[in-house]
């Protein structure tokens, strides 16, 4: 089921792939053009999602989260298969973006990661491990660069 709060603004080019899974978009959230969201996905209130976001199943986006353009939240992975085909059974490891965090342009967050409240992920970073609250992470793989005021 697709549930978009009446105060949310979603560009008509955004794709919601929800089928039997829920996609929820909270109050006052803005989603710019070209995004693709495959449920289940929950987006909190007053979030801002810039153009061409790619959001995969089992993703939770908190309140007041900002996503820069071309951000990828990729929960898809595979078990390691046998020699003949290493990409084994598909799985979706959840992603959680804490309230007030900011994910910079073209950053990628991989499955199984929680980005803490008030954290910043620098543009172009690839996040492979949990990010604490109120830190700035950057790089490939992303590492803590500095602490931020709470």
Condensed to tens digits (0 to 9), the pLDDT of residues 33-48 reads 999 999 999 999 999 9
Q: Output the pLDDT for position 139.
A: 98
Binned at pLDDT 50, 70 and 90, residue 18 comes out as confident
Confidence check: pLDDT of 127 > 80: yes
Hey, what domains does the chain have and what are their CATH numbers? Answer: 2-147 (2.160.10.10)
CA angle 124, 128, 134 (to 5 degrees): 75
Judge contact between 76 and 59, C-beta under 8 A.
no
Average pLDDT over residues 14-30: 92
The whole model's pTM is what? 0.95
Cα–Cα distance measured from residue 109 to residue 114, given in angstroms and rounded to the nearest whole number: 9
Give residue 24's pLDDT band: very low, low, confident or very high (50, 70, 90): very high
Whether 58 is a known active-site residue: answer no
Annotated catalytic residue, options 58, 78, 83, 92: 78
Tell me, what's the pLDDT at 30?
98
């Amino acid at each position: 089921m697709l549930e978009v709060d009446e105060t949310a603004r979603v560009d008509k080019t955004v794709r919601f792939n929800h089928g039997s899974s829920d996609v929820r978009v909270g109050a006052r959230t803005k989603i710019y053009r070209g995004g693709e969201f495959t449920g289940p996905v929950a987006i909190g209130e007053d979030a801002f999602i810039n153009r061409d976001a790619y959001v995969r199943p089992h993703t939770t986006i908190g309140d007041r989260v900002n996503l820069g353009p071309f951000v990828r939240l990729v929960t898809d992975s595979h078990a390691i298969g046998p020699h003949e085909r290493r990409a084994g059974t598909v799985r979706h490891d959840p992603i959680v973006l804490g309230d007030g965090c900011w994910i910079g342009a073209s950053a990628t967050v991989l499955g199984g990661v929680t980005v803490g409240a008030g954290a910043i992920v620098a543009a172009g970073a690839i996040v492979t491990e949990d990010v604490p609250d109120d830190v700035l992470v950057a790089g490939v793989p992303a590492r803590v660069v500095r602490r931020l005021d709470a």
